[in-house]
């Protein structure tokens, strides 16, 4: 049985179609990723799966329960870590978790033990009586993950889990997540616009303008690109481009850094290129394809890979608010 | 059982957050103090003739002395503080929505109606606390406080607070930003207080104002408080009977509203509001 099933899901906000007829399934125990630029429909899809939004049309099931007709059952099976922090700043870490425990009907005798367990897991036990207002961004995110796990959900939804966090915190959080999957067999549904983050997934759906443009393992997706990426800088880029295209039958792109094209087995190709080139080669670079290259190949655009700063996040929030009207 | 516990914890969170915000509690005293001591002292001399033409000269004198303006608006100021606190509960909902916490509550396996109820109960309790804080000022305005009076006041305050909080929750149910809510608050709060018989006696009013007073739910929330407080001031029975005619009571279609009558109106209003609030909250996007 698939732990998540989505069938022809459509979600519109007035005239804007945020999710445009997508279908996919997620296996239990998988790490499944939604990769796409901001505004592609990732958060909207997660919101529908978490019963926060109703589909305009189409159906979805989580843990065998219909997200429209069996909402309480779906909610009991899922944990959710939102893109925007959703903790209460004026309560302590412990109080936030206790609040959650009561809402999810965790029995009183188990509550204290479970709270301690998850706090220790994310290494926040010593800070349990501090107001969340005093926590850093990374600590808040860890607390939210702890909270999302308290009721032993079958699926943990992570909406841009490491957005705005520094690399060290990011890798720590992924350590917990992977350990989690090992220990508790939980399924992880992840949305992100960071390529490196998507690499953690077993399978990725690339989403753009509300549609799934590809769905496969990261490896398979990358091999779609058709080889390694070579970048060269020469004395005469224009001439070199023509020669390379003619001699090796590849499509050459001009970029700000020089020329770029794809070949199979890049390491073996480079010596040949250097020897056979008629123009003087100044530098050569070799890169394995990344998911950004996959996206580029599929859509002709790049996923905007910059760190989303606070301004971006506020803009995102405004955009989302505008959509809801 | 689970639902009851959930309602409780949602209400409890409201009270916890309120109590931890000491600056807000302190600043909530500013307006009541202004009304009681500045307004009250300033207007008292002008209000001397409240009891004019209602009985013997001796009675008039006794009444005029017993109830100066400051004492007159004391129940109204309690009501004002409660009303403002209750409507502010609505703000907490909009705040939670705007800053994300509401999602945590909405994605939990409890009904949205339960969320509305929890917020209302928490807000009502806060309203009562705010009312009691003003009651503590009674000695400084010459209003005597008896234990019996307090015991009678608390359930009446709870009822009134419940009605106004559910109004606040209803307004907040579909509101997106704190600014919009703030605007509505400003439009509603002061008019509702001023046109409730709390600020001036309901005697010889122009008919349009008289009408507004009679349809204003706050009028029926404050009237019981006033009756309980004045009854405990040691006035002779004959004088107490004159109070409604002085404008210190509510007369609807010739019938003087008793505390029981007021309660019926408030309960009806409150139940309607909370039912609507629970329904509005349940509507899903």
User: A290's torsion region: left (phi>0), alpha (psi -120 to 50) or beta?
Assistant: beta
Residues 6+ apart with CB under 8 A from B63: B50, B51, B54, B235, B239, B242, B246
Q: Which of A173, A200, A222 delimits the end of a domain? A: A222
Overall average pLDDT of the A281-285 stretch = 90
Q: Are residues A201 and A245 in the same domain?
A: no
Q: Which of A195, A222, A249 delimits the end of a domain? A: A222
Q: What is the 3-state secondary structure (H, E, C) of chain B?
A: CHHHHHHHHHHHHHHHHHHHCHHHHHHCCHHHHHHHHHHHHHHHHHHHHHHCCCCCHHHHHHHHHHCCHHHHHHHHHHHHHHHHHHHHHHHHHHHHHHCCHHHHHHCCCCCHHHHHHHHHHHHHHHHHHHHHHHHCCHHHHCCCCCHHHHHHHHHHHHHHHHHHHHHHHHHHCCCCCHHHHHHHHHHHHHHHHHCCCCCCCCCCCCHHHHHHHHHCHHHHHHHHHHHHHHHCCCCCHHHHHHHHHHHHCCEECCEECCHHHHHHHHHHHHHHHHHHHHHHHHCCC
Q: Are residues A17 and A132 in the same domain?
A: yes
Give one DSSP letter per residue of A184-209, joined into a string: H--EEEEEES-HHHHTT-SEEEEEET
Overall average pLDDT of the A94-107 stretch = 94
How many interchain CB pairs under 8 A, A with B? 69
CB spacing of A86 vs B103 below 8 angstroms: yes
The residue count of chain A comes to: 325
> Considering its fold, how many domains does chain A have in total?
2
Q: Are residues A65 and A180 in the same domain?
A: yes
| 3-state SS class at A145 | helix
Of A75, A87, A90, the CB nearest to B107: A75
**Contact in structure between A94 and A88 (CB atoms under 8 Å):** no
- The region of weakest confidence among A145-154, B48-57, B113-122 is B48-57
Overall average pLDDT of the B208-222 stretch = 88
Structure tokens at A323: 């959509």
Q: What pLDDT shows up at residue A154?
A: 93
Q: Tell me which chain A residue has its CA closest to the CA of residue B95.
A: A88
Q: What pLDDT shows up at residue A158?
A: 92
Percent of chain A with pLDDT over 90: 43
Q: Are residues A268 and A164 in the same domain?
A: no
Alpha-carbon gap: B63 to the closest alpha carbon of chain A (Å): 49
Q: Which residues of B touch A103 (CB under 8 A)?
A: 6, 9, 105, 108-110
What is d(CA A307, CA A310) in angstroms, rounded to the nearest whole number? 10
Q: Are residues A199 and A248 in the same domain?
A: no
CA A206 to chain CA centroid, Å, is: 10
**Contact in structure between B8 and B116 (CB atoms under 8 Å):** no
Alpha-carbon gap: B285 to the closest alpha carbon of chain A (Å): 5
Q: What pLDDT shows up at residue B66?
A: 62
Q: What pLDDT shows up at residue A216?
A: 93
**Contact in structure between B45 and B102 (CB atoms under 8 Å):** no
A257 found inside a domain = yes
Query: Model confidence at A55, in pLDDT bands (50, 70, 90)?
Result: very high
Q: Is A290 exposed, middle or buried (0-12, 13-18, 19+ CB in 10 A)?
A: buried
Max mean pLDDT among A232-241, A293-302, B124-133 falls in B124-133
Query: Model confidence at B5, in pLDDT bands (50, 70, 90)?
Result: very high
CB spacing of B109 vs A76 below 8 angstroms: yes
pLDDT at position B268 over 60:
yes
CB spacing of B108 vs A104 below 8 angstroms: yes
Q: What pLDDT shows up at residue B55?
A: 58
**Contact in structure between B114 and A109 (CB atoms under 8 Å):** no
At B76-98, the pLDDT tens digits run 888 888 888 888 888 888 888 87
Residue in A47, A102, A143, A157 to test binding to B, most B beta-carbons within 10 Å:
A102
Q: Are residues A215 and A231 in the same domain?
A: no
**Contact in structure between A227 and A289 (CB atoms under 8 Å):** yes
Q: Which residues of B touch A324 (CB under 8 A)?
A: 176, 285
**Contact in structure between A225 and A189 (CB atoms under 8 Å):** no
Which ipTM score applies to this complex? 0.82
Strand B251-252 with B255-256, pairing: antiparallel
Q: Which domain holds residue A154?
A: 2-222
pLDDT at position A7 over 90:
yes
DSSP letter at A93?
A: H
**Contact in structure between A181 and A29 (CB atoms under 8 Å):** yes
Q: Tell me which chain B residue has its CA closest to the CA of residue A144.
A: B104
Percent of chain A with pLDDT over 70: 93
Q: What CATH number is given to the structural domain containing A120? A: 3.40.50.300
At A168-191, the pLDDT tens digits run 888 888 888 888 888 888 999 999
A121 found inside a domain = yes
How confident is the prediction for chain B on average, in pLDDT? 83
Q: Tell me which chain A residue has its CA closest to the CA of residue B6.
A: A103
Q: Is A268 exposed, middle or buried (0-12, 13-18, 19+ CB in 10 A)?
A: exposed
Q: Tell me which chain B residue has its CA closest to the CA of residue A13.
A: B285
A79 found inside a domain = yes
Q: Is B253 exposed, middle or buried (0-12, 13-18, 19+ CB in 10 A)?
A: exposed
**Contact in structure between A21 and A10 (CB atoms under 8 Å):** yes
Q: What pLDDT shows up at residue B63?
A: 64
Strand segments (E) across A154-245: 155-159, 187-192, 203-208, 211-216, 228-234
**Contact in structure between A25 and A64 (CB atoms under 8 Å):** no
CB spacing of A102 vs B105 below 8 angstroms: no
| Interface check A80 vs B, CB under 8 A | yes
At B57-68, the pLDDT tens digits run 666 666 666 667
Give the residue extent of every domain in chain B. 2-282
Residue in B92, B96, B107, B281 to test binding to A, most A beta-carbons within 10 Å:
B107
**Contact in structure between A250 and A261 (CB atoms under 8 Å):** yes
Q: Tell me which chain B residue has its CA closest to the CA of residue A81.
A: B104
What is d(CA B33, CA B137) in angstroms, rounded to the nearest whole number? 9
CB spacing of B6 vs A102 below 8 angstroms: yes
Q: What pLDDT shows up at residue B65?
A: 64
Overall average pLDDT of the A151-166 stretch = 88
Q: What pLDDT shows up at residue A64?
A: 94
Q: What CATH number is given to the structural domain containing A261? A: 3.30.70.100
pLDDT at position A161 over 60:
yes
Q: Which residues of B touch A78 (CB under 8 A)?
A: 107
CB spacing of B109 vs A325 below 8 angstroms: no
At A260-280, the pLDDT tens digits run 888 888 888 889 888 888 888
**Contact in structure between A203 and A30 (CB atoms under 8 Å):** yes
Give A256 or B223, the one with higher predicted confidence: B223
CB spacing of A53 vs B285 below 8 angstroms: yes
* CA-to-CA dists, residue B73 to B33, B200, B258, B261, angstroms: 11, 8, 19, 21
| Interface check A46 vs B, CB under 8 A | no
User: A123's torsion region: left (phi>0), alpha (psi -120 to 50) or beta?
Assistant: left
pLDDT at position A310 over 60:
no
**Contact in structure between B109 and A75 (CB atoms under 8 Å):** yes
Alpha-carbon gap: A202 to the closest alpha carbon of chain B (Å): 26
Q: What pLDDT shows up at residue A212?
A: 93
Q: What pLDDT shows up at residue A91?
A: 93
Q: What pLDDT shows up at residue A318?
A: 59
Q: What is the pTM of this model?
A: 0.81
A75 found inside a domain = yes
CB spacing of B17 vs A88 below 8 angstroms: yes
What is d(CA B50, CA B175) in angstroms, rounded to the nearest whole number? 44
Q: What pLDDT shows up at residue B47?
A: 62
Q: Are residues A237 and A130 in the same domain?
A: no
pLDDT at position B227 over 90:
no
Query: Model confidence at A314, in pLDDT bands (50, 70, 90)?
Result: low
Q: What pLDDT shows up at residue A217?
A: 93
Q: Are residues A260 and A177 in the same domain?
A: no
Strand A31-35 with A187-192, pairing: parallel
Q: What is Dmax (Cα atoms) for chain A?
A: 78
Overall average pLDDT of the A141-154 stretch = 91
Q: Which residues of A touch B109 (CB under 8 A)?
A: 71-73, 75-76, 103-105
Of B21, B100, B110, the CB nearest to A85: B100
CB spacing of A86 vs B104 below 8 angstroms: yes
Structure tokens at A264: 């199979």
At A10-43, the pLDDT tens digits run 999 888 899 999 999 999 999 999 998 888 889 8
Q: Are residues A111 and A242 in the same domain?
A: no
pLDDT at position A306 over 50:
no
Of B17, B108, B284, the CB nearest to A54: B284
| Interface check A140 vs B, CB under 8 A | no
**Contact in structure between A144 and A131 (CB atoms under 8 Å):** no
Q: What pLDDT shows up at residue A113?
A: 93
Query: Model confidence at A101, in pLDDT bands (50, 70, 90)?
Result: very high
Give B107 or B256, the one with higher predicted confidence: B107
Q: Which residues of B touch A48 (CB under 8 A)?
A: none
Alpha-carbon gap: B127 to the closest alpha carbon of chain A (Å): 20
Q: What pLDDT shows up at residue A307?
A: 40
The CA angle A253-A256-A262, to the nearest 5 degrees, is 30
**Contact in structure between A232 and A240 (CB atoms under 8 Å):** yes
Q: Tell me which chain A residue has its CA closest to the CA of residue B106.
A: A52
Of A52, A76, A147, the CB nearest to B106: A52
Q: What pLDDT shows up at residue A308?
A: 46
Percent of chain B with pLDDT over 90: 21
At B13-66, the pLDDT tens digits run 999 999 998 898 888 888 888 888 887 777 776 665 555 555 566 666 666 666
Beta bridge partners of A65: A62
**Contact in structure between A62 and A70 (CB atoms under 8 Å):** no
Overall average pLDDT of the B120-135 stretch = 92
Alpha-carbon gap: A323 to the closest alpha carbon of chain B (Å): 12
CB spacing of B17 vs A325 below 8 angstroms: no
């Amino acid at each position: 049985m698939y732990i998540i099933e989505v069938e022809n899901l459509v979600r519109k906000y007035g005239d804007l179609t945020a999710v445009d007829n997508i279908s996919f399934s997620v296996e239990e125990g998988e790490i499944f990723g939604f990769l796409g630029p901001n505004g592609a429909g990732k958060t909207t899809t997660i919101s529908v799966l978490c019963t926060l939004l109703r589909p305009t049309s189409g159906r979805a099931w989580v843990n065998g329960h219909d997200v429209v007709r069996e909402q309480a059952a779906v909610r009991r099976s899922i944990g959710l870590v939102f893109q925007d922090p959703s903790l209460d700043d004026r309560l302590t870490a412990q109080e936030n978790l206790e609040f959650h425990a009561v809402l999810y009907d965790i029995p009183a005798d188990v509550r204290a033990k479970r709270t301690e367990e998850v706090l220790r897991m994310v290494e926040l036990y010593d800070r349990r009586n501090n107001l969340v207002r005093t926590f850093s961004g990374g600590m808040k995110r860890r607390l939210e993950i702890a909270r999302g796990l308290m009721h032993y959900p079958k699926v943990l939804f992570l909406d841009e889990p490491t957005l705005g966090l520094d690399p060290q915190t990011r890798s720590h959080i992924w350590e917990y997540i992977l350990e989690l999957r090992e220990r508790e067999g939980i399924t992880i549904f992840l949305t992100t616009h960071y390529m490196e983050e998507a690499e953690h997934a077993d399978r990725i759906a690339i989403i753009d303008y509300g549609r799934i443009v590809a769905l496969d393992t990261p490896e398979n997706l990358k091999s779609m690109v058709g080889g390694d990426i070579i970048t060269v800088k020469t004395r005469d880029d224009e001439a070199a481009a023509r020669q390379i295209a003619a001699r090796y039958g590849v499509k050459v792109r001009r970029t700000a850094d020089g020329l770029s094209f794809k070949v199979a087995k890049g390491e073996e190709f480079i010596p040949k290129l250097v020897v056979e080139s008629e123009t003087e080669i100044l530098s050569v670079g070799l890169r394995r394809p990344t998911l950004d290259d996959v996206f580029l190949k599929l859509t002709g655009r790049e996923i905007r890979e910059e760190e989303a700063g606070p301004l971006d996040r506020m803009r995102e929030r405004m955009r989302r608010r505008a959509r809801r009207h | 059982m689970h639902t009851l516990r959930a309602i409780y914890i949602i209400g409890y969170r409201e009270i916890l957050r309120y109590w931890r915000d000491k600056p807000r509690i302190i600043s909530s005293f500013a307006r009541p103090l202004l009304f009681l001591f500045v307004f009250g002292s300033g207007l008292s001399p002008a209000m001397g003739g409240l009891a004019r033409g209602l009985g013997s000269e001796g009675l008039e004198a006794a009444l005029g002395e017993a109830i100066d303006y400051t004492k007159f608006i004391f129940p109204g100021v309690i009501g004002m503080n409660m009303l403002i606190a209750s409507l502010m509960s609505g703000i907490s909902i909009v705040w939670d929505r705007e800053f994300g916490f509401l999602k945590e509550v909405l994605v939990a396996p409890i009904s949205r109606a339960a969320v509305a109820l929890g917020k209302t109960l928490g807000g009502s309790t806060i309203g009562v606390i705010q009312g009691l804080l003003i009651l503590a000022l009674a000695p400084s305005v010459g209003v005597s406080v008896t234990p019996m009076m307090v015991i009678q006041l608390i359930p009446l305050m709870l009822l009134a607070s419940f009605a106004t909080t559910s109004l606040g929750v209803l307004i907040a149910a579909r509101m997106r930003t704190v600014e919009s809510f703030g605007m509505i608050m400003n439009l509603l709060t002061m008019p509702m207080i001023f046109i409730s018989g709390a600020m001036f006696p309901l005697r010889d009013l122009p008919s349009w104002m008289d009408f507004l007073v009679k349809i204003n739910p706050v009028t029926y929330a404050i009237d019981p408080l006033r009756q309980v407080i004045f009854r405990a001031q040691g006035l002779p029975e004959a004088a107490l009977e004159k109070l409604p005619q002085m404008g210190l009571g509510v007369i609807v279609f010739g019938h003087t509203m008793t505390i029981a009558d007021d309660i019926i109106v408030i309960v009806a209003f409150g139940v309607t509001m909370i039912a609507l609030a629970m329904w509005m909250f349940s509507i899903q996007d």
